[in-house]
Amino acid sequence: MRIAITGATGNVGSALLHRLVADSDHELVGVVRRVPDTTHEPYDAVRWVSADLTDPACTSVLQDAFSRADAVVHLAWGFQPSHDLDHLEELGVGGTGRVLEAVAAAGVPHLVHMSSVGAYSPKRDDRPVDESWPTGGVTSSPYSRHKVAAERLLDDHQRSHSTRVARLRPGIIGQGAAGSALLRYGVPAAIPAAVLGHIPVLPLDRRLEVPMVHADDVADAIVRVVDRQAGGAFNLAADPPVTVPHIARALGARHVQVPFHVLRGAASLSWHVRLQQVDPGWVDLGYSVPLLDTTRAREELGWSPSVGGVEVLEETLAGMRNRSARRTPVLRPRTVPGMLGRALRRGPVSERHEP
């Protein structure tokens, strides 16, 4: 089977490549902005195509990459620069539109799109929701708004094309190997990873409860969707959902109750004055996303997570403390001198286009 994958060197993309290369029955095309070192597995088994999804001219490159593909798996997305929302929208929403245009032009029969729990409308209670829950998003979160806009593009595409479209809506995706990338996205350049092992208190509102899932389990779901040529939406999450006590225990910290409005205000102020690079919409999203009912994925795909939600959290935090990495530009090792030097040359992560 010929499978083209956008964002093939990221958190989920790398996990998916390891899984597909192990199967050895596929012809793989990786579509990325920065091609990885192809002298190492699994990247040596992939035909690489460089394309910047923010560039309208990339459509012809995508069409060539998707030629004769049995399926396209669209994973490419951006989390930084958080102070350049136009760029993030051009990548996530505009890029999805260009992928859809190329899918149609190349006559690809099957598209697997990586959506998110962030596309769902805010929860009313703690009962898990299935795939019929409204996808109105959390309007104060740019990430959520862009995920919703991408889903509307999928709706439009399905009304006018015969492509079978699958939408995966996972909870927060973690794995140890993404540790360095997550540090770059979320932790200021001057702060070493070792600080995560010495956090005395955790100031959060105790109401936080979020679904998590391991990148390997998301990769497994993608393979099952592709093999079955499945369409429609699939929630992906592992039990139990992660709560504040779980986070405090994993960090070895003591929880201090801080009301949501205080937490949100502190996040907003520190982001606006450039003390940290995570926009306050992520706080809104964390306290708004519903828990996920994964019955459809279990029954129709035969999928079940191999790693529990708390284990995903613990592995991800350990990866951050250890600066775990893989041999790709996205998941490269993170060092404080390297981060500071890059910030001096090209600006902080929250403002430059290559975090």
pLDDT tens, position by position, 285-302: 999 999 999 999 999 999
Residue (of 157, 53, 168, 46) closest to 108 by Cα position? 157
pLDDT tens, position by position, 112-143: 999 999 999 999 899 999 999 999 999 999 99
Which long-range contacts (C-beta less than 8 Å, at least 24 apart) are formed by 125-130?
Answer: 126/209, 126/291, 127/291, 128/290, 128/291, 128/292, 128/293, 128/294, 129/235, 129/290, 129/291, 129/292, 129/293, 130/235, 130/293, 130/295, 130/296
Q: Where are the domains of the chain?
A: 2-246+274-346
How many residues are there in the chain?
Answer: 355
Class of residue 350 by CB neighbours under 10 A (exposed 0-12, middle 13-18, buried 19+): buried
Sort residue 229 into left (φ over 0), alpha (ψ -120 to 50) or beta: left
Token representation of residue 98: 């260009």
Give me the pLDDT at residue 349, please: 86
Give me the pLDDT at residue 338, please: 86
pTM (2 d.p.): 0.96
pLDDT confidence tier of residue 355, bands split at 50, 70 and 90: low
pLDDT tens, position by position, 2-42: 999 999 999 999 999 999 998 778 999 999 999 999 998 89
Q: How big is the chain by its Cα radius of gyration, in Å?
A: 19
Cβ neighbors of 160 (< 8 A, separation 6 or more) are none
Give me the architecture of the 2-246+274-346 domain, per CATH: 3-Layer(aba) Sandwich (3.40)
Measure the CA–CA gap between 252 and 285, rounded to whole angstroms. 25
pLDDT tens, position by position, 207-256: 999 999 999 999 999 999 999 999 999 999 999 999 999 999 999 999 99
pLDDT tens, position by position, 32-58: 999 999 998 899 999 999 999 999 999
Share of the chain above pLDDT 70, in %: 99
